[in-house]
Amino acid sequence: MLDQFKGCLLGAAMGDALGMARESTPPDFQRLHEGYRRAWRGHPNAGLKPGQFTDDTQMMLLVAGMLV
């Protein structure tokens, strides 16, 4: 059970990091083949490095730590 919990947290963190640049934008299925990109200037996550997770993952890890 602990391995499943760790896998769930890791999967959520990876999804958050890969989708960080497209957060708060409408889905564009025509551009899925382009892969990862940086957030544009003025985006709330513009200061993050490529592949860096957002505050969503930070909050998830804090809540998980409190539940443990």
Percent of the chain with pLDDT over 90: 31
**Residue among 30, 32, 11 at smallest CA distance from 21:** 32
| Total domains, the chain | 1
Q: Which domain holds residue 34?
A: 2-67
CA–CA separation, 9 and 16 (whole Å): 11
What is the C-alpha to C-alpha distance for residues 66 and 63, in angstroms, rounded to an integer? 5
pTM (2 d.p.): 0.71
Mean pLDDT score of the chain = 81
What pLDDT score was predicted for residue 58?
A: 93
Structure tokens at 37: 């990109």
Q: Which band of pLDDT confidence, cut at 50, 70 and 90, is reported for residue 7? A: very high
